[in-house]
Structure 1
Amino acid sequence: MRTHSLSSSDRDLGQDDDGLAASARGDPDVAIDAIRIPNVLIIEDNPGDVELTMLAFQTRGLIVDFHVAIDGANALQYLQTLAASPDPRPDLILLDLNLPKITGAAILTYIRGEPELAGIPTVILTSSRAARDYEQCARLGVDAYLIKPMTLQEMLEMMEQIAPILER
C-alpha cells in the first residue's frame, strides 16, 4: 500500500519523510509495477479512523494506493483539481459526513454533480444514524452507507461490503 496525504499534517498519520505510512509499505518483493493498484480516496478528519481503514485493507490482503483528505475544504480542492486534470480518478471514495470546513454531504453533492467524478463509487463511512443523512445520501446515489465501526474486527466485517465495490 502506498499512502499520500493531501495535507501538511503527514506526521499526524504516522508517515515517514517519504510520505508512506510505516504500516502501509507492504512486501518489497512484490513487483508492484506489474499489477494495477486500486486508488482509494479517504476523506476523513479522524486520524484513528484513517489508520483503522488502512489497516483493514492491509489485513484483508488488498494492495491499495491511498490518498487522504483531512477535511472538507482539502477534499474539495483536491477533487476540483482532479476533475480538471487527466490524472487517474480514484477507484473508490470513502467519505465521512461530519467533516470540518465543508460537510461530507456538500462534498458528495459536488462529486455527483461533476461529470468527470460522478461515476466514482462512493461509500459513506459515518457515525451518523440520522434518517435525513441516509436519505440525502441515497438520493445522491451512494454505493453504500455504512456506520463507522469501532474495532478492527468490525472494520474487517465491513470490508466484506466495501471490497466488491472496489473490485468492480
Structure 2
Amino acid sequence: MEKTLRILLVEDNLIEIMKMKRTISLLKLNHTINEAKNGEDALEFLKDRSKIPDIILLDLNMPKINGIEFLKIIKANDDLKHIPTIILTTSSNQKDILECYKTGMSGYVLKPLKYEDYVKKIETVLSYWSINELNKV
C-alpha cells in the first residue's frame, strides 16, 4: 500500500515550486509539500520535530546554503540523517553527482526540459518512496 508522503521541497525558484505542485495535482497525489526557499530556511523548518518529512527534494544551486552544504549538515545530524534526500537539479556535473553520493544522498534526478518528462520522473520518484519500507516506520 502506498503511503501519503510529507515532502520538504528545498527550492529557490518559484517556477520550479509551482511546477512541482502542478505535477502533484496532475498525478492526483495526496502528498503534503512544504517549501523552503534555501538551505537555511530548510534547516529552520527541520528544527520542529513534529514536521519531519518523509523525503526531501533538494535543489543544488541555491543562495545562502547550497544543496551540497545542506546535505552535509543534515547527514551529520543523528536526528535528520535518516531522511531520504533526493537531489532534483539541472546539474549533470560529475563532480556534483559524486559529491552528493559521498555525502549520503538517496538519489540524483536531473530535471528534464520537457514537462511531460518531468512528470514521469517525479511520478517514479514519489511512487518509489511511497512504498519504501523506511517511510512506514
TM-score range, shorter chain: 0.7 to 0.9
1-structure distance, mates of 2:66, 2:106:
18
Equivalent in 95, 106, 110 of residue 147 of structure 1? 110
Indicate the structure with greater helix content.
Answer: 2
Q: Which residue of the partner structure matches residue 64 of structure 2?
A: 101
2-structure distance, mates of 1:94, 1:108:
11
Q: TM-score, normalised by structure 2?
A: 0.86
1:23-75 per-position Cα deviation (integer Å, ceiling 9, x unaligned) = xxxxxxxxxxxxx7421000000011111112212222211111100122212
- The Cα of 1:152 is off from its aligned counterpart by 2.4
1-structure distance, mates of 2:70, 2:32:
21
Give the length in aligned residue pairs: 129
Matched, 1:132 2:99: no
Unaligned runs of 5+ in 2: 133-137
CA RMSD of aligned residues (A): 1.6
Higher RCO (Cα < 8 Å, 6 or more apart): 2
- Identity in percent: 30
2-structure distance, mates of 1:88, 1:44:
18
Q: Which residue of the partner structure matches residue 36 of structure 2?
A: 69
**Contact 1:98–1:104 (Cα < 8 Å) also in 2:** yes
Runs of 4+ in 1 over 3 A off after TM superposition: none
**Contact 1:124–1:146 (Cα < 8 Å) also in 2:** yes
2-structure distance, mates of 1:55, 1:99:
22
Q: TM-score, normalised by structure 1?
A: 0.71
Unaligned runs of 5+ in 1: 1-35
